Structure 1
Amino acid sequence: MTTAENFEQSLELWPVGNCQVSALVDRRGGFVWGCVPRVDGDPVFCALMNEHEQDEGVWRFEIAGQTRVHQYYERNTAILVTELHAEDGSAVEIRDFAPRYERSGRMYRPVAYARIIRPLSGTPRIRVVLKPMHGYGEKLAPTTNGTNHMRFLVGAQAMRLSTDASIGYVLEDRFYRLEQDQHFFLGPDEPFSGNLRSEVRRMEQSTARYWKLWVRGLHIPLEWQEEVIRCAITLKLCQHEETGAIVAALTTSVPEAPGSERNWDYRYCWIRDSYYTVQALNRLGALDVLEKYLAYLRNIVDDARGGQIQPLYSVMGEGELEEGFASHLSGYRGMGPVRVGNAAYKQIQHDCYGQIVLPTAQGFFDTRLLRMADDGDFASLEEVGEMAWKMHDQPDAGLWEFRTRQEVHTYSAVMSWAACDRLANVASRLGKDERCEFWNTRADAIRATIEDKAWKKNGSEFGGHYGASFESDYLDASLLQMVELRFLKPDDPRFQSTFTAIEQTLRRGEHMLRYASEDDFGLPETAFNVCTFWLIEALHLVGRDEEARGLFAAMLGHSTQSGLLSEDLDFTTGELWGNFPQTYSLVGVINCAGLLSKPWSEVR
């Protein structure tokens, strides 16, 4: 519920999309963020990043005398419903979606958005505010119009709005009485084929059917079903289906903390984030995301030719992501800068080799896949393993992407161990006994190095613990992943003492820091949401299930009304910060729900 007055930007946002384009809809039913022709393109809707120009870079419907708003998703779909209510009792309903369904033997997912607005009660008066931008907020998109359409030059292409509403009213932002359903299709610059009213409605029905059938194929836990389904749908929306890449988030430059300048562009495919995403969706049985992502990885590996893998790439596999600034955008709540590109592509992060091997290994075992991996894939994967072996004891920027220092990070070394360990498993599956022994020997050698260099047995009040790096005693939350990666078992005393140390050092009430030491920007000011979910997983592993369920409920209580989470959370105020929706955080919801839920056998 909200009023139009005193509106402040927030992360109370509702994603819609079709795995080609997406938009974030705010509490007033306005498109405030959306890029074309894909997620890393020009944000034609950019009001989220332009605090002082809320009537530019937006597409919204307003009802005269608005008093409240009610929003929800149509069950098990990515179709958003927004109801606008006015003081005179009149109301309208807006239905937002991006078309997605099978047509002519392939998936129809155009660079397009569809909106339907209909009167619910009374005699509502509305106006349409449609102000797309060009050049990262540099100027309003040049516009021409015809009898039933408007044409915009946005980004590097033209788009056309086809509608059965009055073009004159739209052009002049004029209020008018809404007496019947009206339909809006913003898509490719070409004449709309067929009857607009019937075609947009057919698109909506087909899109709803697609999502409902996709959800029906998920293996979900007994408890927290709605939360898991919403996170699963949103994770799928973060995949650029054309190539299979999975972006870390749909936005750029929402700061990790107020005024921190920790503003990063997350509209790219991090090998690490994508690994966690496909791992979570695999647990739900969403193999379509895995299959497409494996195709993306095969192209990345081919292009690397046995050399260094970058931590991130564009959704098209482009390696150079030069970091610059969108100077025409003031930033979220005016907290710039707004970054375009991400200099982390230049960093050395050795954990990425394990994060390529681990999901790819499934392709050799899972007979459900349309394309099983073969000997040729194994040969390519061994090249990745060679790099993991070569780099397992070399310094890198680590998974937290420190920009000004390098160490031999324990998490990266454990990921290198996991790469060799899983290659041995694959070799055994293929009947390659010599290669199995070869990779097992390397895995054993890396394990010995980790035990020697990362275990800190002296001067610790916790009875010893693993350090975040070989060179230092400090702790970070990624050490909790040593069980998930099968390096340690939950009852191993070394894991128990490391968990105790991490909890006492990094836990802040119901939340978890990723680390407590200073980095390139000073001390962290917010909790990192996925680390809190790692804490919940660890509590479950050590038998503290009641506490784990309590913390999980608390985290779900911080979700937006759309049921989603961003990257960070102020552990004092509970406010969400960081890019949105964050795949890491949604993965945490899915994984913890699966661990903590009562079994289905209890209802049979």
Structure 2
Amino acid sequence: MAKKHTYDYGLIGNCSFQAHIHKNSSIDWMCWPRFDSSFIFGKLLDDKNGGEFTLFPHDKILKSDQRYLENTNILCTEITSEEGKYRITDFAPRFYQFDRYFKPLMLIRKVEPLEGSPRVRVRCKPVGDYGKIHPEQYEASNHIEYLGLEKELRLTTDFPLAYIINGESIVLNETKYLVLTYGAPLEAPLKSTCELFLEKTKLYWRGWVKNLSVSNFHQADINRSALALKIHQYEDTGAIIAAGTTSLPEADGSGRNWDYRYCWMRDAYYTLTAFNNIGHFEELERYFNYIVNISVKVEDRFQPLYGITGETALDELILDLPGYKGNSPVRVGNQAYTHVQNDVYGQVLVSLLPLYTDKRFINVERSDSLKLIKTLLKKIEDLMDEPDAGLWEFRNFAQYHSYTYLFHWAGASAAKKIGKSFNDKSIEKLADKLIKASSDKIEACLDKDRGVYTQAIGTKNLDASDLQLIMMNYLDHNSDIAKKHLKALEKDLKTKEGLFFRYKHKDDFGEPETTFLICAFWYVEALTCVGRVDEAIKTFEQLVSYSNHVGLLSEDVDAANGSQWGNFPQAYSHVGLVNAAYRISRKLDKPNFL
């Protein structure tokens, strides 16, 4: 059996940027100034030309421990060598001040000696244009400037600059600080400012977690997933990215390497459902504004995904980089923006439903945007008889997917509720028509002999996305067909570990090799819906074990050995955890539910 592969990284961020920090202290992935910009540190994909920001000991690492400060996105890495032990606290400042969030392009590293007299070697070598640009480095009075990118990078520190530039080891006998900035530099006292920002950031994240509305069922796992999801939103526009990485393969050598640093309408729907389930609405309102800004530019149809500031053209390019553990190709951009994926209209409608019907929002604020609801509903009507690429973005064939029709049905159902809320009879009438039409299409996918709904009209192939026929209440949870449907999907797609393949048939790249983690969480939800709660809990607890050392989940899991694969951490997977836990906790209906 192949050795188990895990992503040995913690993630920090502040809703402006993210950084992936290896448990050996190396920042192996960090893109500035945006999620979808070139990396300035990219050893994840190019060990030679990917830049470097490390705090390695003078001698070899004997032990490394990494953890988050409880209920924060602040990461602590403790390195033990023969000479001693030290701790690195990494964070991206985020807190509320001057009536807005302070979320600068600033990475702070606090370095503390813990035992002995460790020597550390600080190396900071940022790059640009995916490793093609190596900025000139200049030593100033208390900082190092890196020139050659769009804006100045500056490393401000109380470490001896000459030692950093010359790559020499430094005895760590007191706490030191490193502040890397893009554009606006740190123009304030170093130590006191770092400590102030650390305390404020800690208080912000802990306050944010305190406002979560969750049960005691796996509360710590929900908290960690929620914290990870939060920093996948690009707060400036409200966009929510699928992942902060590109080209981490779905399986070793598979060639299924994609750039996920964009906003998929579908992924955002599931993410916002999770935020809604845990009582956080700020993210939903920001996403609404993102959708509105996109909708005014749409002439014909919505794309499946957009850039984080609403860019429509996301041309897919292949870079001349070695890739993660030699996995090529390395892609930037994503061809899926050209695909026909008609489920998007229903997903947008269901995503926006709470803003129109939840009494915690002021309805008058949304009444002027009923035009958007009507436009989306009309698109569902126009596209009812059009095949599409489906949920999994098949590149070379189109089908009449049951999943697409499910979201036609769900979107029309959501629009009907919105129409009732605003007493708009025209919306209600069209919604009723589309609910019936989409239901007829879904029923055309029913394989009566097997008692299961198939992936698309006219195919025998099964698809894990059809678990959502149960989850979204299209099928009555207590009905025989719901239970038969679930058993048939189990028989075909489930592994003995409780993991789920998306599908097993060949696609554009052959047969899938790894399971898709959110599908297994959908399975947990479906089990819960039909009353198999004990099995749901057992499966959920197995799935949680596929997280890495700091509780982060990948996109894919190899059922054979539990290896993590795919982009990481994957918002989809953490959404699955949150929503499955919520579903179980509601079913358990414990008195201590908050």
Q: State the TM-score, normalized to the length of structure 1.
A: 0.94
Bigger drift between 470-479 and 543-552 goes to 543-552
Q: Which secondary structure state, in structure 2, belongs to the residue aligned with residue 47 of structure 1?
A: coil
User: Relative to 1, partners in 2 of residues 1:369 and 1:180: Cα closer, same or farther, differing over 3 Å?
Assistant: farther
Between the aligned partners of 2:161 and 2:483, the Cα distance in structure 1 is 66
User: Relative to 1, partners in 2 of residues 1:400 and 1:168: Cα closer, same or farther, differing over 3 Å?
Assistant: same
Matched, 1:455 2:446: yes
Between the aligned partners of 1:232 and 1:302, the Cα distance in structure 2 is 31
2:139 corresponding residue in structure 1: 145
Listed one character per residue, the Cα deviations across residues 276-328 of structure 1 (whole Å, up to 9, x for unaligned) are: 001011100111111111110111111114x200000000100100000221x
CA contact (8 A) 1:278 1:289 kept: yes
User: Relative to 1, partners in 2 of residues 1:374 and 1:602: Cα closer, same or farther, differing over 3 Å?
Assistant: closer
2:392 corresponding residue in structure 1: 400
Between the aligned partners of 1:191 and 1:553, the Cα distance in structure 2 is 45
Q: Which secondary structure state, in structure 2, belongs to the residue aligned with residue 230 of structure 1?
A: helix
Matched, 1:495 2:482: yes
2:493 corresponding residue in structure 1: 506
Between the aligned partners of 2:355 and 2:215, the Cα distance in structure 1 is 24
Q: Which secondary structure state, in structure 1, belongs to the residue aligned with residue 156 of structure 2?
A: strand
CA contact (8 A) 1:132 1:154 kept: no
CA contact (8 A) 2:402 2:441 kept: no
Matched, 1:477 2:470: no
2:262 corresponding residue in structure 1: 268
Return the letter of the residue paired with 2:189: N
1:437 positional shift: 2.8
Q: Which secondary structure state, in structure 1, belongs to the residue aligned with residue 503 of structure 2?
A: coil
1:543 is aligned, of 531, 551, 560, to 531
1:226 positional shift: 1.1
1:3 corresponding residue in structure 2: none
Between the aligned partners of 1:386 and 1:341, the Cα distance in structure 2 is 30
Return the letter of the residue paired with 2:81: A
Return the letter of the residue paired with 2:145: R
1:35 corresponding residue in structure 2: 31
Between the aligned partners of 1:155 and 1:249, the Cα distance in structure 2 is 24
Matched, 1:172 2:172: no
Between the aligned partners of 2:303 and 2:522, the Cα distance in structure 1 is 25
Between the aligned partners of 2:434 and 2:504, the Cα distance in structure 1 is 33
CA contact (8 A) 2:357 2:417 kept: no
1:188 positional shift: 3.0
Bigger drift between 115-124 and 131-140 goes to 131-140
User: Relative to 1, partners in 2 of residues 1:240 and 1:372: Cα closer, same or farther, differing over 3 Å?
Assistant: farther
CA contact (8 A) 1:42 1:154 kept: no
Between the aligned partners of 2:51 and 2:359, the Cα distance in structure 1 is 47
CA contact (8 A) 1:534 1:588 kept: yes
User: Relative to 1, partners in 2 of residues 1:372 and 1:142: Cα closer, same or farther, differing over 3 Å?
Assistant: farther
Between the aligned partners of 1:78 and 1:127, the Cα distance in structure 2 is 25
Moved over 6 A (4+): none
1:182 positional shift: 0.8
Identity of aligned residues (%): 35
1:471 positional shift: 2.4
CA contact (8 A) 1:9 1:48 kept: no
Return the letter of the residue paired with 1:601: P
Listed one character per residue, the Cα deviations across residues 349-391 of structure 1 (whole Å, up to 9, x for unaligned) are: 0000011101112111223347864332111211011111211
User: Relative to 1, partners in 2 of residues 1:292 and 1:517: Cα closer, same or farther, differing over 3 Å?
Assistant: same
Between the aligned partners of 1:317 and 1:603, the Cα distance in structure 2 is 39
Return the letter of the residue paired with 2:257: N
Between the aligned partners of 2:19 and 2:148, the Cα distance in structure 1 is 15
Which structure 2 residues correspond to residues 291-310 of structure 1 after superposition, within 5 A? 291-305=285-299, 307-310=300-303
Between the aligned partners of 2:548 and 2:179, the Cα distance in structure 1 is 28
Q: Which secondary structure state, in structure 2, belongs to the residue aligned with residue 388 of structure 1?
A: helix
Which structure 2 residues correspond to residues 439-450 of structure 1 after superposition, within 5 A? 439-450=431-442
Listed one character per residue, the Cα deviations across residues 522-573 of structure 1 (whole Å, up to 9, x for unaligned) are: 0000000011111111222222222221111111111001101111011101
Listed one character per residue, the Cα deviations across residues 231-280 of structure 1 (whole Å, up to 9, x for unaligned) are: 00110100000000000001000000110110000000000001000101
2:14 corresponding residue in structure 1: 18
Listed one character per residue, the Cα deviations across residues 391-419 of structure 1 (whole Å, up to 9, x for unaligned) are: 12310000100001001111001101111
Which structure 2 residues correspond to residues 189-200 of structure 1 after superposition, within 5 A? 189-200=183-194
CA contact (8 A) 1:141 1:153 kept: yes
2:328 corresponding residue in structure 1: 336
> Which runs of 5 or more structure 2 residues have no equivalent in the other structure?
none
Aligned pair count? 588
> Which runs of 5 or more structure 1 residues have no equivalent in the other structure?
1-7
Between the aligned partners of 2:12 and 2:295, the Cα distance in structure 1 is 32
1:314 corresponding residue in structure 2: 307
Between the aligned partners of 1:190 and 1:527, the Cα distance in structure 2 is 44
1:83 is aligned, of 64, 78, 87, to 78
CA contact (8 A) 1:29 1:61 kept: yes
Q: State the TM-score, normalized to the length of structure 2.
A: 0.96
Q: Which secondary structure state, in structure 2, belongs to the residue aligned with residue 564 of structure 1?
A: coil
Between the aligned partners of 1:371 and 1:161, the Cα distance in structure 2 is 48
Between the aligned partners of 1:371 and 1:429, the Cα distance in structure 2 is 9
Return the letter of the residue paired with 1:490: H
User: Relative to 1, partners in 2 of residues 1:155 and 1:323: Cα closer, same or farther, differing over 3 Å?
Assistant: farther
1:179 positional shift: 1.4
1:376 is aligned, of 368, 384, 387, to 368
Matched, 1:430 2:422: yes
Matched, 1:221 2:209: no
2:58 corresponding residue in structure 1: 64
Compute the RMSD of aligned alpha carbons. 1.8
Bigger drift between 71-80 and 99-108 goes to 99-108
